[in-house]
Amino acid sequence: MTRLIIDSKLLAQLKNRAAAAGSDEICGFLIGSGDEEAAVVSRIVESPNVARDPSRTFEIDPAIHFGIRRRLQRTADEIVGVYHSHPKGPPVPSQRDLERAPQSEEWIWLILAPEKGHGVSARAFRYTSSEEDGPADDWDEVAILFTR
């Protein structure tokens, strides 16, 4: 998947939530359909950030993860990605993100970064395990496109 296609209103909602959460990271799932070309997000499922220190990292509520997987079994939709925010840093994957990325190699990682007085920026990445190329190439940036 080299493109993330999302309704601009949905992305605006996520940006607003990221800004409203102050110093805490927000997190949740991107639900939709995906193939090799693109992931199309049809909705988002928010999760409380259950990390012990939500200002430093995020942890999706396992009950929400389990519940959404079970509900999606009977549909054509799937989890195409995960979103979270970086209240104190740029919208690029952190070392912590890298450590857990191999568990969900298919997912797109959408990262939102509220910057005081400058709105919220968003970038998307996909983890690729490339042992030959070294750590710098562990993530491929995914273009974000809007349906409207």
Q: Which residue ranges make up the site for Zn ion (CB under 5 A)?
A: 94, 97
Residue sitting closest to Zn ion (CB): 97
Minimum CB separation of residue 99 from Zn ion in Å reads 10
Round to whole Å and give the CA distance between 80 and 95.
22
40 versus 101: smaller Cβ distance to Zn ion: 101
Partners of 34 in beta bridges: 39
C-alpha 35/C-alpha 107 separation (Å) is 11
Q: Please state the closest distance from residue 94 (CB atom) to Zn ion, in A.
A: 4
In the complex, least distance from residue 58 CB atom to Zn ion, rounded to whole angstroms = 7
Residue 128: CB minimum distance to Zn ion, A: 17
Question: Whose Cβ is closer to Zn ion: residue 42's or residue 55's?
Answer: 55
Q: Spell out where 35-89 has E strands.
A: 38-47, 78-85
Closest to Zn ion by CB, 73 vs 95, is: 95
For 17, half-sphere exposure in the C-beta direction (CA atoms, 13 angstrom radius) is: 21
Indicate the residue among 42 and 94 with the shorter CB distance to Zn ion: 94
Distance CA 36, CA 110 (A): 17
Inter-CA distances, 66 with 5, 69, 93, 117, Å: 25, 5, 24, 37
